[in-house]
Amino acid sequence: MWNVSPIKMCNKHLLGEHVECHMFVGTLNRGRSVRGYIDKGLLEIHTLRERHNHLAKEMEKRGMKHKSELPEFEVITLGKINSKENEMELKRRCEECRKL
């Protein structure tokens, strides 16, 4: 999860993070560990649903179809993402994101 404002993300990164939200919920629902993502500052379980909804809203604003509601999952307060640091990294990596 970048946890960067969706309006500052190119389509590729917007869609990629949306898919990751679904993958994380699937992993959690199967009882698999996400500890590595949490330890590396790549996942906040407690903001996962809200993040998905923000991404979906931006997708729809860009004319994309969104038909994949996030399944239910156990929400626990766990993980911390540094959004400011991630925004700088995203812009460093992606020319399209730099333009936004």
Q: Is 49 exposed, middle or buried (0-12, 13-18, 19+ CB in 10 A)?
A: middle
Token digits of residue 27: 């992993």
What is the spatial distance between Cα 33 and Cα 3, in angstroms, rounded to a whole number? Answer: 20
- 70-94 pLDDT, tens digit per residue, is 999 999 999 999 999 999 999 999 9
pTM of the model: 0.94
- 13-26 pLDDT, tens digit per residue, is 999 999 999 999 99
